[in-house]
Amino acid sequence: MSKMRLFHLISSRKLIIPISVVIILAIMPLFGVYPTLIMFLYLVLLVMSSMWNLLAGYTGLICLGHASFIGISAYTVGIFTMLNLPYQLGIVVGGFSAALLSLLIAVPTFRMRGIFFAIGTLTVSEALRAFFTTFKPTEGAIWGGAGIPIKTAISLRELYFFMIPVAIVSLIILRLILKSKVGLGLMAIRDDETAARTCGVRVFKCKLYSFLISSFFTGLAAGSFYIYQGHVEPVSAFGINWTMLLMIAVVIGGIGTLEGPLIGAGIAVFLHIALARYAGLSLLIEGLLILSIMLLQPRGVAYLLHKILKKIYP
């Protein structure tokens, strides 16, 4: 490839934004610990919300039990660190444990549709929370139930640079899926499952693919987050707060769009930090915000920005 061809490729409009984003992510630690922490939380939520959007926005599976994947991955990572095993291995195994859990619950939950599927997945999270409340691999307990410490010498900087490729790979895979025949099948299932089956779409396999991929990357992000937090306990790990946070990011950004979680995750992180002092009212405020967005701008902020940019650059 000639130098002129390479320069033209790099300077093309399609690559300017991705290259700029990667450069910004790479230099973020130079600005201090707090900006790095904000970006780390953003990347974690971006991966989780993108994977929740794969289920809800593209497959039509409103999953209220995503916390089950988060919690099982967090406990897996916690046990790995207790055994003094590499944290990278713990995070990867945590992702696979979340995928294995999704595989186990797929058969019973896929028999349900609509609100029944949502309630079924929520029941799984609550059942796991109850189980891990009595799970005590160590003496004593951390607040909120049978929690375990996650003791590592890993810095926030290392976790941040670990999350960057995880986020990039997850978005690339998501885009490839949606551009493939599987993606077309998922959207056909979302629009009308019966019609999709009639047209030859392998409904169960398509759902299972999206479920496995969603749970795996959610597990990777969850393991990274709980290593940073330093402990895991069942009330928060398997709690509804995670589901609310993912719903906020996707609904605000734009459900069923690739850009939605990119925008919504940033807004959700800002709201989470801003509402931290109002712990008792935060869920209420977030719920009202979701309802307002759904009523006033159901397609999300991404669609609104697209309309504005289209007027500016017709």
pLDDT in tens, 233-290: 888 889 888 888 898 889 888 888 888 888 889 888 888 887 777 766 777 777 787 7
What per-residue confidence (pLDDT) applies to 5? 52
Q: Is residue 113 pLDDT above 90, yes or no?
A: no
Per the domain annotation, does 56 fall within a domain?
yes
SS3 231: strand
Per the domain annotation, does 106 fall within a domain?
yes
Per the domain annotation, does 219 fall within a domain?
yes
What per-residue confidence (pLDDT) applies to 254? 85
Of the listed ranges 67-71, 119-123, 133-137, the one predicted with least confidence:
133-137
Domain count, the chain: 1
Per the domain annotation, does 229 fall within a domain?
yes
Of the listed ranges 54-58, 64-68, 91-95, 308-312, the one predicted with least confidence:
308-312
Per the domain annotation, does 295 fall within a domain?
no
Per the domain annotation, does 14 fall within a domain?
no
Q: Is residue 143 pLDDT above 60, yes or no?
A: no
Q: Return d(Cα 101, Cα 103) in angstroms, integer.
A: 5
Per the domain annotation, does 259 fall within a domain?
no
Give the domain range for residue 230. Answer: 34-239
Per the domain annotation, does 111 fall within a domain?
yes
SS3 255: coil
